[in-house]
């Protein structure tokens, strides 16, 4: 019999629960709130059968566009042929985690606001732009003795071991 291409085909390992994490899922999953515009990661929880996304979306990150009673609408990019389509799926909250992709940006924003406020108070002008890593600075080598090395004339007799 041929393999079949059902909805959950080839997901034996993908949807399996990790080792020693089977059974009840921790309640913090249900207590998290999601607002429209948040970034979320889609990660299927095999223990909950309702509201599972298709296996393509496992591991994708998208933005929330809708919030319903028990599920969240996520807008995910999918490449179809030669273009990328924004696909809107609905996923139960058990299969969704808040994404940390914009965490660094948010923290940096807060820090920059603070730096700018401080600079304004002092009256200086600062740039909060990130700079890429530059070349390593120059340094002096300590305790070096100079040894000049010159080539020595080629001496056939000495260099050929054991004669000709």
Binding site for another protein (CB under 8 A): 20-24, 26-28, 30-35, 67-72, 93
- CA dihedral 82→87→91→97, nearest 10 degrees, is 70
**CA dihedral in degrees (59, 64, 68, 72; nearest 10)?**
0
Q: Which is nearer to another protein, 31 or 80 (CB)?
A: 31
Nearest CB to another protein, comparing residues 66 and 128: 66
**Which residue's CB is nearer to another protein, number 67 or number 119?**
67
CB 95 within 8 A of CB 43: yes
- As measured in angstroms, the least distance from the Cβ of 68 to another protein is 6
At closest approach, how far in Å is the CB of 79 from another protein? 29
- Cβ nearer to another protein, comparing 31 with 149: 31
Distance CA 48, CA 128 (A): 45
What is the smallest separation between the CB atom of 29 and another protein, expressed in angstroms? 9
Shortest Cβ 102–another protein spacing (Å): 20
CB burial readout 71-97, b (16+ within 10 A) else e = bbbbebeeeeeeeeeebebebbbbbbe
Alpha-carbon distance values, 4 to 1, 8, 15, 80 (Å) = 9, 10, 18, 22
CB of 67 to another protein, least distance (A): 5
Q: Which of 65, 78 has the CB closer to another protein?
A: 65
């Amino acid at each position: 019999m041929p393999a079949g291409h059902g909805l959950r085909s080839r997901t034996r390992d993908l949807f399996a629960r990790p080792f020693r994490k089977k059974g009840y899922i921790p309640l913090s999953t249900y207590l998290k709130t999601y607002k429209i515009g948040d970034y979320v990661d889609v990660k299927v929880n095999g223990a909950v059968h309702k509201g599972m996304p298709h296996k393509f979306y496992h591991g994708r990150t998208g933005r929330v566009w809708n919030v319903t009673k028990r599920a969240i609408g996520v807008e995910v990019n999918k490449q179809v042929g030669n273009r990328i389509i924004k696909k809107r799926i609905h996923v139960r909250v058990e299969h969704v985690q808040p994404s940390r992709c914009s965490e660094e940006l948010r923290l940096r924003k807060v820090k920059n606001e603070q730096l700018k406020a401080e600079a304004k108070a002092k009256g200086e002008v600062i740039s909060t732009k990130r700079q890429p890593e530059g070349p390593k600075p120059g340094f002096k080598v300590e305790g070096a003795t100079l040894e000049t090395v010159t080539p020595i004339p080629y001496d056939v007799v000495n260099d050929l071991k054991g004669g000709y």
